């Protein structure tokens, strides 16, 4: 069953190089139209992609290496020592951490990674050790002190702040079972000519492939927004109709959502409510102070939407 994803997100297709009269289950179907043929060759499935994000200094996230689609046979990472041709690698979440490290250190191995499919579910090692794609010190560059080597997040792998030139998907439970079967079939017939392959059909990026920062994609007018919304206010109120804005502004900001390596799969999606509570408490306290208009500075309170950390 095909499932539509939001416009920003690409979708995956499985292409089977078997005889066209056989469906994936192996039953014989009659071919009466092109859609019938397509259904016997392709299986659509859903997932959560790692997407490409840009700012003024560079990019993070995942994308196809160019404008062309990626088509590659499915292999299981735990069963291959070397990837000798472009392949879509199926990994558990724990293996994904190891895979990312190997890709960073082995260029010959990395050049044959056509894409990565991460299985749904946490294995025993992840459950015991934990998993975080963020840095060990999130936001260290904005710390108000010089010593920023403290590990607030000891299990942080930092992977969501790197750029990868191949598509990465976190599979659903149904997609995980399907891809595991495909990988096993390829292992059984590895000496045969035919293979079951995964096709990353849309370019997995939010902009043109030649744009590598927000300035270049704005010039090309190809940027897509992250989504979400933001709210701001000030104490005392700022008069927009007045040209006299001589007072400096103290900016107080709280995040409205969470971010993760896989878009829309945020385990802490409701955690920023603590930031909102703190921000509202500050606003409520300051609103009760007499003589706000006599203060030398304006207080501006911002509740920012998706992508604030980036």
**How do residues 56-68 score in pLDDT, each as one tens digit?**
888 888 887 766 7
Region 166-174: what's the mean pLDDT?
A: 88
| 237 secondary structure, DSSP code | P
Determine what percent of the chain is predicted with pLDDT higher than 90: 2
Question: For residue 18, which of 38, 36, 40 has the smallest C-alpha distance?
Answer: 40
What pTM does this model have? 0.71
Task: Assess contact for 165 and 111: CB atoms under 8 A.
Answer: no
- The larger pLDDT score, comparing residue 273 to residue 160, is at 160
Whether 3 has a pLDDT exceeding 50, the answer reads no
Tens digits of per-residue pLDDT, 108-159? Answer: 888 889 899 999 876 666 666 777 888 899 888 878 888 888 898 898 888 8
Count of alpha carbons within 13 angstroms of residue 186, beta-carbon side: 25
**Residue 247 CB partners (closer than 8 Å, separation 6+):** 295, 296, 297, 298
User: Which region among 118-127, 178-187, 200-209, 223-232 has the lowest average model confidence (pLDDT)?
Assistant: 200-209
DSSP assignment of 246-300: -S-EEEEEEE-S---SSTT--TTTTTTHHHHHHHHHHHHHHHT-TTGGGSSSEEE
Q: Are strands 168-171 and 113-118 parallel, antiparallel or unpaired?
A: parallel
Q: Before 236, cis peptide (omega within 30)?
A: yes
Question: For residue 160, which of 53, 9, 267 has the smallest C-alpha distance?
Answer: 53
H-state helical runs in 10-92: 34-41
Task: Assess contact for 264 and 48: CB atoms under 8 A.
Answer: yes
Phi, psi of 56 (to 5 degrees): -65, -25
Mean pLDDT for the chain overall: 75
Whether 23 has a pLDDT exceeding 50, the answer reads no
Using DSSP's 3-state secondary structure scheme, residue 44 falls into strand
pLDDT band at 268 (very low <50, low <70, confident <90, very high): low
Q: Given this model, what pLDDT does residue 14 score?
A: 39
The Cα 118–Cα 172 span in angstroms is 9
Q: Residues 92, 52, 226, CA angle at the centre, nearest 5°? A: 115
Tens digits of per-residue pLDDT, 271-310? Answer: 667 777 888 898 899 888 888 888 888 888 877 665 555 5
Region 155-165: what's the mean pLDDT?
A: 88
């Amino acid at each position: 069953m095909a499932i539509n994803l939001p416009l920003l997100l690409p979708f995956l297709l499985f292409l089977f190089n078997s005889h066209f009269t056989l469906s994936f289950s192996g039953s014989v179907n009659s071919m009466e139209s092109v859609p019938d043929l397509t259904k016997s060759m392709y299986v659509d499935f859903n997932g959560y992609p790692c997407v490409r994000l840009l700012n003024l200094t560079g990019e993070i996230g995942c994308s196809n290496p160019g404008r062309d689609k990626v088509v590659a046979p499915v292999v299981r990472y735990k069963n291959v020592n070397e990837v000798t041709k472009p392949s879509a690698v199926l990994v558990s979440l724990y293996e994904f951490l190891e895979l990312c490290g190997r890709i960073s250190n082995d260029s010959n191995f990395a050049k044959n990674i056509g894409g990565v499919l991460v299985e749904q579910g946490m294995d025993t090692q992840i459950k015991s050790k934990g998993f975080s794609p963020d840095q060990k010190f999130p936001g260290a560059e904005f710390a108000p002190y010089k010593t920023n080597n403290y590990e607030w997040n000891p299990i942080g792998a930092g992977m969501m702040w790197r750029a990868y030139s191949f598509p990465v998907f976190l599979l659903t439970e149904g997609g995980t079972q399907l891809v595991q079967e495909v990988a096993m079939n390829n292992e059984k017939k590895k000496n045969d000519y035919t293979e079951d392959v995964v096709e990353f059909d849309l370019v997995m990026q939010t902009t043109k492939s030649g744009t590598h920062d927000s300035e270049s994609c704005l010039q090309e007018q190809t940027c897509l927004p992250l989504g979400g919304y933001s709210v701001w206010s000030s104490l005392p109120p700022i008069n927009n109709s007045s040209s006299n804005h001589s007072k400096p502004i103290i900016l107080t900001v709280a995040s409205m959502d969470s971010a993760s390596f896989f878009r829309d799969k945020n385990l802490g999606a409701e955690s920023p409510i603590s930031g909102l509570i703190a921000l509202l408490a500050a606003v409520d306290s300051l609103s009760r102070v007499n003589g706000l208009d006599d203060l030398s500075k304006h207080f501006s309170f911002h509740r920012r939407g998706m992508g604030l950390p980036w």
